[in-house]
Structure formats: C-alpha cells, structure tokens
Amino acid sequence: MKRNQILWFIFPYLSIYGFSVYDDILSRPRYQVKFKDIPISAQIANDRLLYDSNTHNQSIDHEILKLNNEKYFCTTPKVEHEPIDSEETPDAKAKKENETKKALENGLKLISPLENSCIYYLEGWWTYVLCYNKYAKQFHPLDWDGSQKSLRILENQSEIYYLLGRFNTSIKEGISTFSSKIEYNGDSYYISQKVGGGTYCNFIQENRHVEIQVHSFSFLQTIER
C-alpha cells in the first residue's frame, strides 16, 4: 500500500520562442522540470487520468512514468503550434533575405579596411597569419624577437609553412565573389567566409581550406529568426 502513495507531480514549464534547427538546444533549453514536494495517492492519479480521457482536456496532459523504480505523476502543458522557418510566409521570407543581404553588404564594407593588413596569432610551435583578401597561412618562425615587424620578415623566410587558403578576388564596394554568408550559432550572428586553394594535405587528401568568422557586429542582431 505504501508504494501507491509515492507518486509525485512533475510540472514541466515551457519557455517558448521561435525555434530553428540551427539553434543550440543546450544553451537555450525549452523545458524546465519541477518536482512537487507533496505526494499524491495512486487513486487520485488514476482519477485524473480517467477525467482526461473522458473530457479530452486540451490544455494539459497527464501521464504516469517510472524512474529508478519510483512512479511519478506527470503534468505537461500543451504548447500551441508555432511555425518554423520552413513554414514562413513568402513575404516574411523575402524580408528576411533582404535584411540578410543588406547586413552582409554592410559587414563587408566595415571589414574592407583590413584588406591591406595582416593579423598574426601565435599558438605553440605555429604562428598563424591572415592577410585579409590575400591568404591565410601557418608557419614556424625561427629566432623571433617579439616584434610584429620581425614576424613579417620571418614569415617570408620560413621554409616550414602551410597555406591554409587563398582569397580569389578583391573586395569592391562591400561585395565579394568568394563564399561570404551570414551565419547563426544559436546565440549571435556572424559573417562566415570560406576560402580554399591551400597546400595539399595528405591526411584529408585534398587542398587545405579555412573558414574565417567575423563576430561582434551589432547590426547583425537586427536580423530576427
């Protein structure tokens, strides 16, 4: 008889927002489970299940589940269906595409001053360099004195290097012909640029390629999913 009284309410509360298959479901959970402190009897639980079946309750679902040899009486709110990206109206889809195109054009214009500069990043034995709109490379510098100028010289002198990718065109008026897109990682938007044509890699049996991501542009947040 005692086991019939070890039944608990579980109330999952749903936090509803526009869902996309590209969202990170771990960083933005849609459900929250709460346990009630007061147990109920099996008779009450069965009565409520019977009531649901007779009345076709449209607002909540009741179900008895078992976890670690304990029975739980679960109450789950029903959620109204919300359209996902594939169910957008043609007007909404066209508006989003237009906003995305404008954001990409503005973003490329903002980063165009990088075209005549190189960014170096040291990571262990390797140094990585991005000469924007030219190439991305990794190389091993010898006898580096710690200065940026020295890195440029050592890059040209290094015999141990791999080309990671080449940009195939220059940027004019914020427009680029290589692969540039607005991407969404579940938390923020960013510009993604993919370039190929790097040094051949025996491990993957193809030329190296690299993705360059540009983050932290506030205007990208104006695109709503």
Give the pLDDT confidence of 79-115 residue by residue, as tens digits. 766 555 556 788 888 888 888 888 888 888 888 888 8
At 169, the pLDDT band (50, 70, 90 cuts) reads very low
* Per-residue model confidence (pLDDT) at position 84: 55
Task: Please name the CATH architecture into which domain 88-222 falls.
Answer: Distorted Sandwich (2.70)
Annotated domain spans of the chain: 2-77, 88-222
- The conformational region for residue 134 under phi > 0 = left, psi -120 to 50 = alpha, else beta, is alpha
The letter for the amino acid at 20 is S
* Per-residue model confidence (pLDDT) at position 134: 87
Rounded CA separation 14/39 (Å): 23
* Per-residue model confidence (pLDDT) at position 3: 41
**Is 179 within 8 Å of 191 (Cβ atoms)?**
no
Q: Which residues pair with residue 33 across a beta bridge? A: 12
Token representation of residue 207:
């030329």
Which H or E run includes 153? helix 148-157
* Per-residue model confidence (pLDDT) at position 6: 36
The structure's pTM equals: 0.49
Q: Which of 1-15, 124-138, 190-204 has the lowest mean pLDDT?
A: 1-15
Q: Is the pLDDT of residue 193 over 80?
A: yes
**Is 180 within 8 Å of 168 (Cβ atoms)?**
no
Give the pLDDT confidence of 25-82 residue by residue, as tens digits. 445 556 677 888 788 888 888 888 887 777 766 677 888 888 888 888 888 887 766 5
Please count the other Cβ atoms lying within 10 Å of the Cβ belonging to residue 200. 11
Return the residue matching tokens 């789950």.
76
4 or 92: which leads in pLDDT:
92
DSSP string of 57-124? -SSEEEEEEEETTEEEEEEEE-------GGG--HHHHHHHHHHHHHHHHHHHHHHGGGGG-EEEEEET
| Mean pLDDT of all residues in 163-191 | 70
